[in-house]
Structure 1
């Protein structure tokens, strides 16, 4: 693709949908792998403490109110 010219609509963008098969076994395997990695990341993030909750808990302790993370 050459230099972008805003005066020419679409420049040299390819026509959609592409004529080649994009659902190859290799691409589908990578999609599944990426989905698993995102699920693992999401699970890890769910175990991290919430900074806002920790701050609220600390300020409640100042007022002699005992709270839990639940």
Structure 2
């Protein structure tokens, strides 16, 4: 991929990403000037990967997360 637009087109081919993006876009696009920047896209990609990684630690409790961060 050579541009952010190309990356976005590739991401939109993923059903889960597209569904989530379309559901959140009306609320968040005005906050980011109607264009996601590179850091935002990178965070979305990382989040998508973590969601599907069976070895990734997942938290359902903020207190548990904070305990692990302090450890």
Same fold at TM > 0.5: no
Higher CA-based Rg? 1
TM-score, structure 1 normalization: 0.31
TM-score, structure 2 normalization: 0.31
The structure where helix makes up a greater share of residues is 2
With a CA cutoff of 8 Å and minimum separation of 6, indicate the structure with the bigger relative contact order. 2
